[in-house]
Amino acid sequence: MLDDTVQTVPARTAAAPGHRAAGVVVRPGDVAGLGTVLGVWAHPDDEAYLSGGLMAIAREAGSRVVCVTATRGELGTPDPVAWPPDRLGAARTVELARCLDVLGVREHHWLGYHDGECSSVPAEEAVARVADLVGRIAPDTVLTFGPDGITGHPDHQVVAAWAAAAFDRAAPSGARLLQAAVPARRAPRWSDVSARLGVYQPGYPVTVPDEQLAVDLVLPPETAARKVRALAAQATQTAGIMAAMGIDGYTAWVGEEAFVERPGAAVMTGRGARR
Query: How far is Cα 141 from Cα 121, in angstroms, rounded to an integer?
Result: 25
Among positions 93-112, residues that touch Zn ion (CB under 5 A) are none
Q: Is 121 exposed, middle or buried (0-12, 13-18, 19+ CB in 10 A)?
A: buried
What's the rounded Cα separation, in Å, for the pair 216 and 228?
18
Distance in Å, CB of 11 to Zn ion, minimum: 29
Nearest-angstrom CA–CA distance, 86 and 91:
9
State the minimum distance, in angstroms, from the CB of residue 154 to Zn ion.
10
Q: How far is the CB of 198 from Zn ion (least distance, A)?
A: 13
Q: Which is nearer to Zn ion, 150 or 268 (CB)?
A: 150
The residue among 42 and 118 lying less far from Zn ion, judged by its C-beta, is: 42
State the Cα angle at 50 between 56 and 28, rounded to 5°: 40
The rounded distance, in Å, linking the Cα atoms of 228 and 218 is 14
Q: How many residues bind Zn ion (CB under 5 A)?
A: 3
> Would you say 42 or 267 has its CB closer to Zn ion?
42
Q: Is residue 75 a contact partner of residue 121, using CB atoms and an 8 Å limit?
A: no
Least CB distance to Zn ion at residue 115 (A): 9
Task: Give yes or no for a contact between 206 and 3, defined as CB atoms under 8 angstroms apart.
Answer: yes
Nearer to Zn ion, 21 or 42 (CB): 42
Site string for Zn ion, 39-58 (x = CB under 5 A): ---xx--x------------
Q: Which span sits near Zn ion by CB under 5 A: 5-13, 16-24, 35-43, 173-181?
A: 35-43
Q: Which is nearer to Zn ion, 48 or 265 (CB)?
A: 48
Which residues in this chain contact Zn ion in the complex, by CB under 5 A? 42-43, 46
